């Protein structure tokens, strides 16, 4: 087949062979960082390419479904102006943290020649050339295949995408710079509640998230006439951008937390901790804004934001979306708070107690569900009285279960009442050795009781035929706890359960003892 001119006379550092590329819906994709969600097509672009994110664009071809031929040329320096022989030429800047570029079909099909092509790391300029862009409805077997050739070279500035040669048969795409700016700002400050498609430029854990070894870059924008860049604060929900004047031509751009955040759980992480410089220059060729020292992965988003700020001063299209997200997050937080309060009320038989009580690992919730007022009274006691209450309850539990006169149990109970350490079998492994001895001791009586569990009016259950000694013994094991509050709560709860049908009488007696 007869090749058209390449569009550049500069020697290639590398060039692939022509390869078949499957296309669908007249589209294929070019990316330098796989797995990164972008802005989507039909926002900014022309008949040959549409911007999709810092590391991705969509290419357009004439054929709807089938294949085209494509190749990639990596240049050693900037491309020259395009030669004749192409139907359409457009170019765009991509961020290449990996130093790799792939061209794939819209549905994922590709060829080895167009996968992981080595390109410069950092910012690269990609110029797409296309010819023989015939739709499949008019294409014949005698027509040459459609061909797309990508020229790529390294750059240090994020420059606007542009149409180098417009397709004369193309359509006039509607440009949506305000929507692009909204996407750009929200991608810099993504939130969990963000709408689908508004995701971080590089999500946490992405293999190219840490690109600190790459130099910071510049975003450059030109305008034919002077445009005012006032010193101001750009509102961004919980954050803000402070654009502060240094001199007649220089501003400082820095991220900061907002004075009045709008979300119930404000963002605390800034997109970039380091301030950057914005230089504003006027000359015979017009007006130039250079935003220097920005992170490479942010360059694309900042370029879209600057395009909007320069052309529509004082307009912040992301604000309404952030306010809507804030309202949704506030409503969700309130609903979560209400549900949590309802769950806590059920768990605790009323409003949650102190953090001290909530932090206990034992039977605090269980006691709250059968007698919340008693739990609060125990928590208010001084430590010495809590220890006395624990011993009192343990003795009553041993008495009701017929264990009070068993020698080794009586000795343990006397030690606790005398403020002496309990035997090791009670203190190690939550008293499992002591409990095992209880279950194997032939002198231990065996009586059964109906356990009453739960809260009247909320949900109760009974367990008939439970071994009363097994139900009562944890009240004695509770005395091994060095925390007098925990010991008192666990001992009193287990003693109450061991009383079976007399549980409420025991609770009444406990209130009297604690008065």
Q: Both 381 and 446 in a single domain?
A: yes
d(CA 65, CA 88): 20
**How does pLDDT run across 440-470, given as a tens digit for each residue?**
999 999 999 998 876 554 556 788 899 999 9
Residue 5 falls within a domain, yes or no?
no
What are the residues facing 127 on neighbouring strands? 91, 151
435 has a pLDDT exceeding 70: yes
226 has a pLDDT exceeding 80: yes
Quick one: pLDDT at residue 201? 60
- Between strands 217-223 and 157-158, the pairing is parallel
Q: Both 198 and 344 in a single domain?
A: yes
Residue 66 falls within a domain, yes or no?
yes
Q: Both 157 and 45 in a single domain?
A: yes
The total domain count for the chain is 3
Q: In the predicted model, what is the mean pLDDT of residues 269-295? A: 92
Q: Hey, what are 263's tokens?
A: 């979300």
Q: Locate tokens 């080794």: which residue?
A: 408
Quick one: pLDDT at residue 4? 46
Q: In the predicted model, what is the mean pLDDT of residues 320-329? A: 91
Q: Both 133 and 189 in a single domain?
A: no
Q: In the predicted model, what is the mean pLDDT of residues 482-498? A: 96
CB of 292 closer than 8 Å to CB of 275: no
Q: Both 377 and 304 in a single domain?
A: no
Q: In the predicted model, what is the mean pLDDT of residues 228-256? A: 91
Quick one: pLDDT at residue 197? 46
Q: Both 364 and 332 in a single domain?
A: no
d(CA 119, CA 444): 82
Quick one: pLDDT at residue 196? 45
Most confident of 192-206, 207-221, 344-358: 344-358
Residue 231 falls within a domain, yes or no?
yes
Residue where one domain finishes, among candidates 121, 146, 170 = 170
d(CA 309, CA 180): 12
d(CA 159, CA 289): 11
d(CA 59, CA 104): 10
Query: Which carries the bigger pLDDT value, residue 169 or residue 157?
Result: 157
Quick one: pLDDT at residue 284? 78
515 has a pLDDT exceeding 70: yes
Q: Both 375 and 452 in a single domain?
A: yes
107 has a pLDDT exceeding 80: no
Q: Both 385 and 292 in a single domain?
A: no
Q: Which of 190-194, 297-301, 309-313, 344-348 has the lowest mean pLDDT?
A: 190-194
**Which residues neighbour 316 within 8 Å (Cβ) at sequence distance 6 or greater?**
185, 234, 235
N residues, the chain? 515
Q: Both 333 and 191 in a single domain?
A: yes
Q: Both 488 and 465 in a single domain?
A: yes
Q: Which of 42-51, 123-132, 180-189, 347-356 has the lowest mean pLDDT?
A: 347-356
Cβ-based burial of 57 (10 A; exposed 0-12, middle 13-18, buried ≥19): buried
192 has a pLDDT exceeding 60: yes
Residue 7 falls within a domain, yes or no?
no
Residue 136 falls within a domain, yes or no?
yes
Q: Hey, what are 249's tokens?
A: 């031509």
9 has a pLDDT exceeding 70: no
Q: Both 240 and 373 in a single domain?
A: no
259 has a pLDDT exceeding 90: no
Q: Both 85 and 187 in a single domain?
A: no
d(CA 123, CA 83): 24
Residue where one domain finishes, among candidates 170, 195, 211 = 170
* Domain harbouring 48, CATH code: 2.60.34.30
**Strands of the 27-31 sheet, one edge to the other:** 49-53, 56-60, 27-31, 100-105, 117-118
pLDDT category at 202 given cuts 50, 70, 90 is: low
**How does pLDDT run across 109-156, given as a tens digit for each residue?**
788 899 999 999 999 999 999 999 888 888 888 899 999 999 999 999
Quick one: pLDDT at residue 411? 95
Nearest by Cα to 59 from 2, 118, 103: 103
**How does pLDDT run across 32-48, given as a tens digit for each residue?**
987 766 888 899 999 99
**How does pLDDT run across 76-103, given as a tens digit for each residue?**
988 877 767 899 999 999 999 989 999 9
* DSSP state for residue 145 in the 8-state scheme: P
Quick one: pLDDT at residue 198? 54
d(CA 337, CA 324): 20
Quick one: pLDDT at residue 204? 56
Residue where one domain finishes, among candidates 348, 382, 408 = 348
**Domain span at residue 466?**
355-514
CB of 32 closer than 8 Å to CB of 94: yes
């Amino acid at each position: 087949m007869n090749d058209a001119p390449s569009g550049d006379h500069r020697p290639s550092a590398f060039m692939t062979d022509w390869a078949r590329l499957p296309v669908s819906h007249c589209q294929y994709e070019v990316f330098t960082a796989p797995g990164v969600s972008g802005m989507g097509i039909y926002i900014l672009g022309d008949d040959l390419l549409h911007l999709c994110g810092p590391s991705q664009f969509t290419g357009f071809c004439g054929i709807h479904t089938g294949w085209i031929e494509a190749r990639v040329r990596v240049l050693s320096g900037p491309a020259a102006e395009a030669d004749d022989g192409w139907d359409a030429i457009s170019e765009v800047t991509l961020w290449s943290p990996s130093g790799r570029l792939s061209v794939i079909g819209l549905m994922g099909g590709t060829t080895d020649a167009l996968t992981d092509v080595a390109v410069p790391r950092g910012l690269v300029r990609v110029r797409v050339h296309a010819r023989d862009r015939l739709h499949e409805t008019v294409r014949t077997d005698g027509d040459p295949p459609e061909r797309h050739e990508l020229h790529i070279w390294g750059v240090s500035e994020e420059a606007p995408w542009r149409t180098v040669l417009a397709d004369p048969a193309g359509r006039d795409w509607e440009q949506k710079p305000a929507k692009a700016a909204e996407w750009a700002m929200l991608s810099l400050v993504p939130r969990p509640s963000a709408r689908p498609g508004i995701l971080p430029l590089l999500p946490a854990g992405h293999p190219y998230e840490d690109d600190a070894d790459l130099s910071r870059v510049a975003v450059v924008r030109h305008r034919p006439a002077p445009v005012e860049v006032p010193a101001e604060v750009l509102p961004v929900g919980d954050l803000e951008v402070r654009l502060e004047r240094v001199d007649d031509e220089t501003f400082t751009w820095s991220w900061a937390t907002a004075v009045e955040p709008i979300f119930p759980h404000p963002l605390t992480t800034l997109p970039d901790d380091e301030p950057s410089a914005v230089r504003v220059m006027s000359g015979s060729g017009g007006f130039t804004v250079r935003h220097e020292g920005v992170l490479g992965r942010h360059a694309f988003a900042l370029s879209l934001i600057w395009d909007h700020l320069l052309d529509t001063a004082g307009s912040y299209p992301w604000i309404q979306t952030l306010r809507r997200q804030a309202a949704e997050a506030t409503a969700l937080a309130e609903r979560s708070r209400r549900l949590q309060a309802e769950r806590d009320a059920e768990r605790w038989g009323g409003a949650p107690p102190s953090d001290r009580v909530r932090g206990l690992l034992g039977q605090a919730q269980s006691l709250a569900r059968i007698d919340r007022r008693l739990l609060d009274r125990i928590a208010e006691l001084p430590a010495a009285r809590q220890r006395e209450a624990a011993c009192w309850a343990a003795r009553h539990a041993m008495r009701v279960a017929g264990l009070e006169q068993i020698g080794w149990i009586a000795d343990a109970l006397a030690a606790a009442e005398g403020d002496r350490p309990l035997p090791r079998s009670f203190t190690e492994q939550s008293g499992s050795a002591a409990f095992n001895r209880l279950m194997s001791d032939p002198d231990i009586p065996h009586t059964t009781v109906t356990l009453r569990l739960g809260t009247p009016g909320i949900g109760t259950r009974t367990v008939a035929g439970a071994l009363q000694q097994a139900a009562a013994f944890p009240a004695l094991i509770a005395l091994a706890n060095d925390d007098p509050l925990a010991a008192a709560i666990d001992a009193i709860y287990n003693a109450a359960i061991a009383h079976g049908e007399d549980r409420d009488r025991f609770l009444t007696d406990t209130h009297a003892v604690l008065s």
